[in-house]
Amino acid sequence: MPRLTAYDRRRMFLDLSAKPLEVWTCPVAQPASSSTSTAASTTCDVDESQPCKTSAVKNVERLFDYELVDCNGYGRQHMIGLAPTVPALSPDLLALEGKQLNRLKDEAYPEHASLAMEAPLALLSFLGPFEWRSFDVVCTKTFPATLYRFCSNEERFYRFDVERIGSTVFVQEADVGDARAGPNYLLSLVENVTSRPSRGYRQAIKYDFGGLRLLVRLHVDLAEVESDEQADVRIELSSDRSILGQRNALEQVDPILEALKEFIPTAQSLTEYMARCEARPFPLPNSSVCLQGGYRRPSSTCCTPIQVMTRGVAKLAESSLPNKWPNLHFGGTERLLVAIHERGEVKGSPVIFHADDIAPVDREEALARAATVLNTIVTFIRAQPAASGNHFALIWINDSNGNDDEPLGKENISIYRRFPKQTNTFLSDSLKSVVL
C-alpha cells in the first residue's frame, strides 16, 4: 500500500476550499458525546437514528461490457468497442509456477482525466433500458468499499471527487494516495494469465445498497468466459439516423444488404464479408463517445470478473485476505485469484478463493454502518444549494500531519467544495443537457 507522500498531500487539497463544509465522525471510533465543533467546521456523528435495514449489496445485475480503446484530448473524446476480447482466465494455472514476473508501472487510467463517466453513461443512455437519472449514485467499486473500510478503522488514504448532476451523485477516486498507480507485479501476472496486453476492459453493473440505487463502473483484469449468444454481425450506422432508427436497424432485415449477397460471389456469406470491412467510427448521440468500427450488437451475456492479487512470501498472511473482501462484495465478484511470489518468481500455482471463504466475521455490522454513512453523504450533497456549486471532494486521510504530527482524524471523512474546471467534470455538457 503506497504511503501518503507530500506530493499526494499537496494534490489532495490543491483545488479545494480552505475549510471543509462538514466532517463526519466514524460511527465505530467515537461515541456521539465526543463530537466537537470548531471554527473551521462542524464535526458530527453520522445519523444512526434510522439505521439502514438493507446492509448488504442486493439485486446485482450486469448491464454491459465494453473496451476503452483510446482516450485523447485529456478525456474529451472516448473511443470504445462494444465487442471486446474478454481477458479470460487461462485453464492451465500450473504453467505459471516458476514464472518470473516484472514490476510494471500502471499508466494512470484514462478515467482519471476529464469526462470520467462519459463512456458508461453514454452507452446506458443509448442501449437502455435503464435511465441513469434513476440512479442515486454513479461510482466505481472503490467508493463503497472505502466507506466499508472507513467503518472498519483500516489505514487508508483517499480523495474522491464528487459532482451532483440533477439528483444523481457522481463519485470517483482521485489519482492520489492509495488510488495512485505504482510499479507492481499485478500487470505482469495479468498478462501471463490472460495473454492480453490491453487493460481497457470495463463492465457496468447496478445494485442496491443501503436503500440507494448504484451504477458502478468496473475495471476488469480477469474474467470467466460464459456462453455468448450474440450475433456476429457488424452494422455501420450513419450519424444522421435517430436512436429509434438505429435500434430498428438491428432488429429488421435490410433488403439492400440481402441483395448484396448476389454481388459478392467470392464471399461465403454476407457476415464474413462485413467482418472484413472496417466500418467508420460511430458517434453516440449527445456525447463525446465513438464506437470503434461502427456499431456491433452488445453481448447478451456479460463476463464474470475475477479479482486478482499478488503477494510476496514475506508479506503473506491469511489474515490479509479479508481485506480484499470489500472489493469483491462491491464489485459483484465471487472469486479472488492469489499468486504468491518471491522477488517476482511465482511460487506454486495461483490459488482461487471464494468470497465467502475470506469474508470478515463482523462484515454485517460494518456494512450497515457503511450504508448509513453513504446515505448521510448523499443527503448532505443533495441539500446543498445549486447556486453555491455542484462540485465537491471527500477526503479521508488516516495518518498524522507531516508538519506537527497532529492527527488529521482517521475517524473522520471531510467534504470540501471543489473549484470546477474543464478538466475535472464527469460528463460533457451535451450529455448533461439531456437531463438538465
Give the cell for residue 228.
Answer: 455468448
- Residue-wise pLDDT for 95-148, tens only, equals 778 888 888 776 645 555 568 888 899 888 888 766 778 899 999 999 999 999
Integer Cα distance of 235 and 145 in angstroms: 39
CA distances from 128 to 62, 238, 243, 379, 404 (A): 13, 20, 11, 27, 53
- Residue-wise pLDDT for 192-205, tens only, equals 888 666 678 899 99
- Residue-wise pLDDT for 229-279, tens only, equals 333 333 333 333 333 334 444 445 566 666 666 655 544 555 555 555 556
Return the axis-axis angle of helices 142-151 and 363-383, rounded to nearest 10°: 120
Whether residue 20 contacts residue 416, with contact meaning beta carbons closer than 8 Å, is answered with yes
pLDDT by residue, tens only, the chain of 436 residues: 456 777 777 778 888 888 999 998 876 443 333 333 332 334 555 655 444 555 789 999 999 898 887 765 444 567 888 877 888 887 777 677 888 888 877 664 555 556 888 889 988 888 876 677 889 999 999 999 999 999 888 878 889 999 999 899 999 988 887 877 777 888 888 888 886 666 788 999 999 999 999 999 998 988 887 544 333 333 333 333 333 334 444 445 566 666 666 655 544 555 555 555 556 778 888 888 888 876 666 766 788 899 988 888 766 665 578 889 999 999 999 999 988 888 888 888 888 899 999 998 888 999 999 999 999 999 999 999 988 889 999 998 875 444 443 345 567 899 999 987 755 688 888 888 876 6
Q: Which residues pair with 125 in a beta bridge?
A: none
Q: Which residues pair with 417 in a beta bridge?
A: 392
| E strand or H helix at 209 | strand 201-209
Whether residue 360 contacts residue 366, with contact meaning beta carbons closer than 8 Å, is answered with yes
Which has the closest alpha carbon to 201: 339, 338, 83, 296?
83
Whether residue 294 contacts residue 282, with contact meaning beta carbons closer than 8 Å, is answered with yes
Give the cell for residue 86.
Answer: 474478454
Integer Cα distance of 204 and 136 in angstroms: 15
Whether residue 93 contacts residue 349, with contact meaning beta carbons closer than 8 Å, is answered with yes
CB atoms within 10 A of CB 212: 18
Integer Cα distance of 276 and 232 in angstroms: 12
CB atoms within 10 A of CB 191: 17
The per-residue pLDDT of the chain, averaged, comes to 75
Measured in Å, how far apart are the chain's first and last C-alpha atoms? 40
CB atoms within 10 A of CB 405: 8
pLDDT at 235: 33
pLDDT at 47: 58
Integer Cα distance of 92 and 349 in angstroms: 9
pLDDT at 334: 92
Whether residue 354 contacts residue 392, with contact meaning beta carbons closer than 8 Å, is answered with no
